[in-house]
Structure formats: structure tokens, C-alpha cells
């Protein structure tokens, strides 16, 4: 007993003989299971196409004063999206091509109208349409997801931007308070003000990271590029970080003597991030090593620490936005998991590479390369 539902075929055809012929052909198809619906005119056919229940439409090329191609175009313009097969007579020239151009899925001439061929044409047209719909759905879902993501980024960007003004003002007041208390000799309050300032600096860094990721996602992270000597930048940053890091000694190895082309502040941001991570994730250790080297095409910088290291399976993941290794593995170091993602994007935009070399328990070495501008070296 047949359990699957019949495929409903709408025939739009003004000649009853052709209807009877098609009915006969369809009934004789061994594996076919078809119901044939029939409309005789352009107008009733169009009305059924747009509102009636069916799976596929077979359209005759000759429809009284109209042609099947006119009907095809009108229906497609009105959003008809089921498969259409055009039925052509003998010697009707290039109608097959015109039909396909107008939006038909296939055509068959009345002389060729025999079961097996028709069965195949119908099945293929239905399956092709289904695949086309699925593709369209997939694309429109992707577009919707992108729009949502872009709105979300816009919103985060707006909120974070609004946070910047009060934070900057708070920082100014904390510093003012610190200086006043020192002047009046109130050392305890001065200490509180100084701690407030440190916390506000951390808050500013978080807000800046958020702003950077939203700008990155929108492709709006600005780069101000110029030539600059690489070694001076490293020396400045190492000095700055050493100033706030009393526990570990930062050792510098190597010199490049190279001038590079890029955004000095952004590249500095990457080096700062690698050094602060080394401080943060290797807290009980004594040394951090910054190694630099160069060849004719690139400079390389590596920051090595002697902390807990990173399992090999996570080497790629740590560069993903918001990715952090489980707390129980790394202690409770604060962070949002954005620093390495931003660093990787900056290095990529500056035409370099970034990677990590590490084994669990054996420290971590983060390295990046940047191209050298040959004309200036």
C-alpha cells in the first residue's frame, strides 16, 4: 500500500487532449505517485499558482492569447517559487532557452512526453528547488546573524564609549586627591587614593580591550603607521613594565638595529600584553626574558616566562576572543580573554605572525614576527 503523499502537479493547459495525455503518462509511471490538477486558462492558472496547494507546475507554451512564458514571468515576479516545467510543441525554436531565462526549471516537448523522462524531470526539478531554498535560507540566516552581531557590537561599542568619560574623570579626581593628601600630610588617605588610581587603570584597560574587540569585529580598528626603530620601543616598554613589576626581573637579550614600518602604539600594545601576561600567569617566578632577533626580511620578538605553561591542545584556542584557560589550572588571574586575540589581530594586520611555544609545566614563550621595510634598513 502507498503511504507517501502524492506529488501534486498543476497543469496549465487549454487543450483537453494534452491533459488526458499527461494524465495517462503519469499513471503509467511505475514508481510515480502523482495527482494531476488542471487549470485551463492564463488567469485561473495564475490564481491557482499563487494560492492553490501543489508541488510543481507544468505550463503549456500556448495559452490562448498568452504564452506560457508570459505567465511564468508574471508568477515569478509575484513571488512564485515552486518548480516550473514548460511544455513545448514541435518546432518551437529557442523557446527552451527563453523558458530557462524567464525562470523555468526545465522543459519537455510534447513528442518526448513519456513516463521515465517525465518522472526524472519532475523529481530533479523538485529536488533542485528544494536545494535552492535551503541555500537561500542558509544565506538569509547568515545575513540575519551577521546583522545581529553587528548590532550587538555597535551596542557594546556605544556602552563602552559612554563608560570612558566618567572613568577618565574618576582617574583625574583620584590623582588630584592623592596629591592633595600628600601635601596635607594625610598619608593614609593618599594611599587609598593611589589604590583607587591603580584600580581605575585596570578598569581603563578592560574598557580599552572591549573597545578594541568591537572595533576589530567591525573592521574599524584604526592603524596610524610610520617608520620607527624597533629596539627603542622595546626598551621603553620593558622599562615601563619593570617599574610596576617588582617581583620578576625582565632580562633583555638581542638587538635588531632595525627600523620597521607600522603602528608603533599598537605594536607596543602587543608587547605590553605579552609581558603583563608573563607577569600575571607566572607569578611565583623570578625572570621574564625578552629576546629579539632579525634577518633580512623580518624581526622576531619572543617573551619567555617560567610559569605553568600552556598545554599543546590549547595553543590555538588561547588566541580566540574571550577564551581563558580554566581557573583551577591557572589560579585566579583576572582577565576577560581578549588580550591575545587583540594581539593576534594587530600582528596579522601588520602582516606578521604570532604563536606560542609551550609545554605544560615548562613555561611559555610567546613570539611574533613583523616584516622589515628593506628600503629603510
**Contact call for residue 311 and ligand ADP (CB under 6 A):** no
Q: How far is the CB of 283 from ligand ADP (least distance, A)?
A: 10
Q: Which of 181, 310, 370, 372 binds ligand ADP (CB under 6 A)?
A: 310
Measured from the CB atom, the residue of 277 and 292 that comes closer to ligand ADP is 277
91 alpha-carbon distance from chain centroid: 52
Q: How far is the CB of 217 from ligand ADP (least distance, A)?
A: 15
Measured from the CB atom, the residue of 67 and 292 that comes closer to ligand ADP is 292
228 strand-pairing partners: 260
**Contact call for residue 304 and ligand ADP (CB under 6 A):** no
Residues from 320 through 349 that contact ligand ADP (CB under 6 A): 323-325, 330, 335-341
Measured from the CB atom, the residue of 229 and 335 that comes closer to ligand ADP is 335
Of 57-65, 68-76, 177-185, 303-311, which part binds ligand ADP (CB under 6 A)?
303-311
Residues from 54 through 83 that contact ligand ADP (CB under 6 A): none
Of 14-22, 113-121, 187-195, 277-285, which part binds ligand ADP (CB under 6 A)?
277-285
Q: Which of 214, 256, 277, 304 binds ligand ADP (CB under 6 A)?
A: 277
Measured from the CB atom, the residue of 122 and 356 that comes closer to ligand ADP is 356
Q: Which residue is nearest to ligand ADP (CB)?
A: 335
Q: How far is the CB of 129 from ligand ADP (least distance, A)?
A: 47
Q: Which residue has the cell 538569509?
A: 140
Measured from the CB atom, the residue of 115 and 335 that comes closer to ligand ADP is 335
Of 40-48, 56-64, 225-233, 275-283, which part binds ligand ADP (CB under 6 A)?
275-283
**Contact call for residue 307 and ligand ADP (CB under 6 A):** yes
In the complex, the residues that contact ligand ADP under the rule CB under 6 A are: 277-278, 281, 305, 307-308, 310, 318, 323-325, 330, 335-341, 364
Amino acid at each position: 500500500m502507498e503511504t507517501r503523499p502524492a506529488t501534486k502537479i498543476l497543469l496549465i493547459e487549454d487543450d483537453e487532449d494534452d491533459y488526458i495525455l499527461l494524465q495517462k503518462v503519469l499513471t503509467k509511471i511505475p514508481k510515480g505517485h502523482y495527482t494531476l490538477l488542471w487549470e485551463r486558462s492564463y488567469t485561473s492558472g495564475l490564481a491557482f499558482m499563487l494560492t492553490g496547494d501543489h508541488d510543481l507546475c507544468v505550463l503549456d507554451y500556448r495559452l490562448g492569447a498568452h504564452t506560457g512564458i508570459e505567465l511564468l514571468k508574471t508568477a515569478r515576479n509575484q513571488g512564485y517559487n515552486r518548480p516550473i516545467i514548460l511544455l513545448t510543441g514541435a518546432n518551437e525554436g529557442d523557446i527552451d532557452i527563453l523558458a530557462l531565462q524567464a525562470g523555468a526549471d526545465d522543459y519537455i516537448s510534447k513528442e518526448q512526453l513519456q513516463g521515465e523522462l517525465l518522472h526524472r524531470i519532475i523529481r530533479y526539478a523538485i529536488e533542485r528547488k528544494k536545494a535552492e531554498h535551503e541555500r537561500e535560507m542558509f544565506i538569509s540566516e547568515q545575513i540575519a546573524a551577521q546583522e545581529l552581531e553587528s548590532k550587538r557590537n555597535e551596542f557594546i561599542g556605544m556602552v563602552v564609549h559612554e563608560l570612558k568619560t566618567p572613568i577618565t574623570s574618576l582617574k583625574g579626581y583620584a590623582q588630584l586627591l592623592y596629591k592633595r593628601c600628600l601635601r596635607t600630610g594625610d598619608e593614609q588617605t593618599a594611599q587609598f587614593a593611589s589604590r583607587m588610581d591603580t584600580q581605575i587603570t585596570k578598569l581603563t584597560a578592560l574598557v580599552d580591550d572591549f573597545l578594541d574587540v568591537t572595533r576589530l569585529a567591525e573592521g574599524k580598528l584604526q592603524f596610524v603607521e610610520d617608520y620607527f626603530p624597533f629596539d627603542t620601543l622595546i626598551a621603553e616598554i620593558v622599562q615601563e613594565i619593570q617599574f610596576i613589576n617588582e617581583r620578576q626581573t625582565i632580562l633583555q637579550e638581542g638587538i635588531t638595529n632595525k627600523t620597521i614600518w607600522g603602528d608603533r602604539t599598537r605594536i607596543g600594545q602587543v608587547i605590553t600584553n605579552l609581558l603583563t601576561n608573563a607577569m600575571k600567569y607566572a607569578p611565583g617566578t623570578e625572570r621574564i626574558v625578552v629576546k629579539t632577533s632579525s634577518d633580512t626580511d623580518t624581526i622576531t620578538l619572543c617573551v619567555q616566562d617560567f610559569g605553568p605553561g600552556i598545554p599543546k591542545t590549547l595553543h590555538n584556542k588561547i588566541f580566540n576572543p574571550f577564551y581563558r584557560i580554566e581557573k583551577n589550572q591557572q589560579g585566579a588571574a583576572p582577565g576577560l580573554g581578549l588580550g591575545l586575540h587583540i594581539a593576534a589581530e594587530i600582528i596579522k594586520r601588520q602582516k606578521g605572525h604570532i604563536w606560542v611555544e609551550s609545554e605544560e609545566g615548562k613555561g611559555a614563550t610567546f613570539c611574533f614576527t613583523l616584516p622589515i621595510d628593506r628600503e629603510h634598513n
